[in-house]
Amino acid sequence: MHADRQTILREARAEAWPIDPKTLTAILGKISTLADQIERVNRTELSPARTIILRSKKGVELSFHDAKHLRSALRSLPDVLRFYGDELDRKVSINRHCFQEEEQDLSSIVDLTRQNSLYERIRLADSRGQYHSKRLYRLVTASRKLQGFPPIKLRAFEKWLNELKKVNLATHHSSI
């Protein structure tokens, strides 16, 4: 197994959170504040919702129907923003809950895969994760000499380990 737990979790987190959760929380606060501020402005004469004559960007006066529709939309903007903020908050909460469960599942899957990986069993010497492929190479070379076979070059042995890793990964992916 080539990827470690942190790499897999980082990729899953990036997929689940295209925008950082802290940034989303900050946005939620800004949406709420903005809705309150727009509502406050709408109670004054400065409000575009109270403007008698509305014009387009080119300065052309809007039709009565378009102006009426736009004033209504401007008056309801704070409510629309609050609704948007509530929906965003709901989705962030759901995503946070689901990702915590997914994170636990991924961690246990990675651990289980590592425990059952022949490649990792060969490479890991102990529970601290100390690699011993060179020790294994020396043992294989000594065994081959005792049996009358020529020694294997270190590069060939490392290539064999890498091929074993690829076979192990392919077997793992097909079993998922």
pLDDT beneath 70, residues of the chain: 1-4, 117-132, 168-176
Cα–Cα nearest to 72, from 49, 54, 41: 49
Give the per-residue pLDDT at 63: 84
Contacts for 10-14 with beta carbons within 8 Å, 24 or more apart? 12/99, 12/102, 12/103, 12/106, 13/99, 13/103
32-76: per-residue pLDDT in tens?
999 999 999 999 988 888 877 777 788 888 888 888 888 888 899
Asked if residues 103 and 12 have their Cβ atoms less than 8 Å apart, the reply is yes
Give the per-residue pLDDT at 112: 78
Give the per-residue pLDDT at 131: 55
Give the per-residue pLDDT at 157: 85
Going by C-beta distance under 8 Å and a sequence separation of 6 or more, which residues neighbour residue 9? Answer: 103, 106, 107
